[in-house]
Chain A
Amino acid sequence: MRKYSKWIFSGVIVILLAVIPQFFSIYYANFLVAFAIFSLYAVTLNLLLGYMGVLSFGHAMFFGVGAYSTALALTHIPGFPLLPAILIGGLAGGLLAFILSPLLVRVSGTAFAMLTLAFGQLIFVLALKYREVTGGEDGIGGYPLPPLNIPGVMSIDMTDQVNFYYFALVVITICLSILWFYTKTPFGSLVVGVRDNAMRLQYLGFNLPQTKAINLIVCGAFAGVAGAVNALLQKLVSTVGVLDINTSFLPIMMAYIGGTGNFFGPVIGSGVLYLLEDLVIRFTERIGLVNGVIFILVVTYLPLGLIGLFSMAKEKWFPKEKAS
Chain B
Amino acid sequence: MSPTVILYISQAIHGLAYGMLLFLVASGLTMIFGMMGILNLAHASFAMLAAYFCYQVLRMFGNFWVALLIAPVIAGMFGVLTERYLLRPLHKQGHLAELLVTVGIMAVILEVVKLFWGTESLVVKIPPSLGGLVTFAGMTYPIYRIFVIGLATLVLGFMVLILFKTRLGKIVRATVADSDMVNALGINTPLVFMLVFGIGTWLAGIAGVVAGPLLTVFPGMADQLGMDAFVVVVVGGFGSLGGAFIVSIILGELNAYGIQFIPRLAPVLMFAFMAIVLAVKPLGLFGERE
Contacts and interface: CB of A to CB of B under 8 A. Distances in A.
Contacts of A256: 100
Nearest to A111: B290
Contacts of B103: 249, 252, 295
B124 interface: no
Contacts of B115: 286, 289
A289 B86 contact: no
A107 B112 CA distance: 35
Interface stretch (A88-96, A119-127, A215-223, A314-322): A119-127
Contacts of A118: 230-231, 234, 271, 274-275, 278
B101 A121 contact: no
Contact of A109 (B106, B275, B290): B290
Given A115-B278, A121-B271, A303-B93, A110 B108 contact: no
Contact of A299 (B101, B227, B231, B234): B101
B272 to A, nearest CB: 7
Nearest to B108: A292
B107 A125 contact: no
Nearest to A131: B264
A235 interface: no
B230 A117 contact: yes
Interface in B97-126: 97, 99-101, 103-108, 110-112, 114-115
Interface in B224-279: 227, 230-231, 234, 238, 264-265, 267-268, 271-272, 274-275, 278-279
A122 B99 contact: no
A25 interface: no
Contacts of B110: 288
Contact of B268 (A55, A117, A129, A293): A129
A30 interface: no
Contacts of A110: 33, 37-39, 95-96, 99, 238, 290
A108 B94 CA distance: 13
Contacts of A121: 227, 271
Nearest to A288: B111
Interface in B171-195: none
A103 B97 contact: no
A113 interface: yes
A298 to B, nearest CB: 9
A300 interface: yes
Contact of A296 (B108, B114, B231): B108
B42 to A, nearest CB: 10
28 contacts: A103-B278, A107-B283, A109-B95, A109-B96, A110-B37, A110-B38, A110-B99, A110-B238, A111-B238, A113-B99, A114-B238, A118-B271, A118-B274, A119-B275, A121-B271, A122-B268, A126-B271, A245-B223, A288-B107, A288-B111, A289-B108, A292-B104, A292-B111, A296-B104, A296-B108, A299-B90, A299-B97, A300-B101
